[in-house]
């Protein structure tokens, strides 16, 4: 079988890097995308992969990334939207969006929609890294900048809830064009996640609790299972998974009208 072209964002560290290593070793054409030039270049060199740099806190960089990918790869078999993070105090990006919401949802939304012609023509899988933290989220379409009642953990949870809603709406809109998609929770993984945030979780990642967290390879397991499996046989397109099984999400995650509304609001927010 010919190798697949697999684009992984947030691939300079953690589960993205672990998945990239495994897939490259299996002979796939892996394209790694990261924010850290040093880490992303080092990984790409180590696994002999192409790489691109993009900071998702700037939508202009996402647009440039999409143009580069469309130019260089006429076929993309898998897009793994893995970039994200938990932030500190409430800040707005240069685009005017709350930073957690932009990095975790709006940037991957923009990248995916800009690549949709290529993805549809390729019959691609779109895999979105969410989190069990979606249960802490509360999506209010009238306040997507979190100007009222902001907290670091709630903002992150809302971003991860948005990933699941995005996944279900992706399926509704594009399944007939050959797209399959899933969101997943990787588990609590031993990485540098939250290190730069103001979240109390940053202490856990540096404490003795670190010993009980999953390794990046363990955290990447469900991502790899979705990438290597078959939608309709191994997993259901449009659904949310954890530990290779359907998982229960925030009750808002099952609101089809909210998913449609989020898509429409997202289109407005990323409009050039």
Q: Catalytic residue numbers? A: 156
Task: Report the C-alpha gap between 93 and 48 in whole angstroms.
Answer: 33
Sheet containing 239-242, strands listed edge to edge, beginning at the edge strand earlier in sequence: 50-53, 29-34, 5-8, 78-81, 125-129, 180-185, 239-242, 245-246
Task: Report the C-alpha gap between 23 and 247 in whole angstroms.
Answer: 25
Q: Which long-range contacts (CB under 8 A, 24 or more apart) does 89-97 make?
A: 89/152, 89/198, 90/146, 90/150, 90/155, 92/145, 93/57, 93/58, 93/59, 94/57, 94/58, 95/58, 95/59, 95/269, 96/145, 97/144, 97/145, 97/269
110 CB-near residues (< 8 Å, 6+ apart): 59, 62, 63, 66, 270
Task: Report the C-alpha gap between 223 and 168 in whole angstroms.
Answer: 17
């Amino acid at each position: 079988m010919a190798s697949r072209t697999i684009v992984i964002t947030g691939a300079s560290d953690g589960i993205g890097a672990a998945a990239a290593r495994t897939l490259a070793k299996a002979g796939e054409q892996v394209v790694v995308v990261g924010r850290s030039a040093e880490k992303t270049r080092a990984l790409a060199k180590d696994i002999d992969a192409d790489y691109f740099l993009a900071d998702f806190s700037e939508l202009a960089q996402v647009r440039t990334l999409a143009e580069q990918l469309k130019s260089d790869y006429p076929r993309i078999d898998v897009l793994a939207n893995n970039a994200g993070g938990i932030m500190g105090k409430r800040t707005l990006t240069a685009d005017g969006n709350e930073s957690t919401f932009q990095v975790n949802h709006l940037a991957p939304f923009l990248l995916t929609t800009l690549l949709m012609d290529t993805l549809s023509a390729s019959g691609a899988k779109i895999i979105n890294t969410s989190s069990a933290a979606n249960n802490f989220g509360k999506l209010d379409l009238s306040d997507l900048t979190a100007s009222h009642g902001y907290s670091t953990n709630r903002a992150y949870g809302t971003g991860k809830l948005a990933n699941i809603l995005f996944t279900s709406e992706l399926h509704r809109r594009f399944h007939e064009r050959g797209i399959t998609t899933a969101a997943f929770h990787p588990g609590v993984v031993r990485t540098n996640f939250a290190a730069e945030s103001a979240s109390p979780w940053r202490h856990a990642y540096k404490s003795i609790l670190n010993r009980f967290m999953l390794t990046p390879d363990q955290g990447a397991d469900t991502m790899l299972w979705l990438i290597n499996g078959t939608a309709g046989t191994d997993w259901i397109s449009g659904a949310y998974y954890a530990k290779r099984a359907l998982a229960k999400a925030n009750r808002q995650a099952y609101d089809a009208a909210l998913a449609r509304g989020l898509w429409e609001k997202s289109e407005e927010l990323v409009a050039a």
